[in-house]
Amino acid sequence: MNPQHKELAAGRWSQLSFLEQMANIGSEVERALNWQSKQNVPYSQKAFERALELVDLTLDHCASKPRFKELARVRETLVDYFGGTNQFQSTEALWRGYFLPFVYAARRHH
């Protein structure tokens, strides 16, 4: 896969705090949800792919086993929600509610 976030993939991502990483992932998920609600499948898919790329970058640099497990589960559920059968019965509200605290926390630490 050709990285969408070339600068981040080149190493800048690992310089961000976990809160900042999760807030950025949440921003891409938010974009995917917004485009999905507007029934713009191509744009929603692109935002979803960017979110997955950021999740994978985070997993690549994750040293904490509990954090790794949670992030791997988030990835699995995102794939199920946006590209699968939604067997986990995720909702738009669930995803917004999951990522919003990371955005607030990342802003407070700046």
Distance of CA 108 to the CA centre of its chain: 20
| 1 is a domain residue | no
Q: Taking 70 as the threshold, does the pLDDT of residue 8 lie above it? A: no
What pLDDT score was predicted for residue 1? 52
Q: Encoding tokens for residue 30?
A: 């938010």
Whether residue 8 lies inside any domain: the answer is no
Count of structural domains within the chain: 1
60 domain residue, yes or no: yes
Question: What's the whole-model pTM score?
Answer: 0.89
Residue 12: its pLDDT value, please? 83
- Residue 47 above 90 pLDDT? yes
Structural domain boundaries enclosing 96: 16-108
Is position 97 within any domain? yes
* pLDDT bracket for residue 3 (50, 70, 90): low
Whether 21 is covered by a domain: the verdict is yes
Q: Position 67: which residue type?
A: R
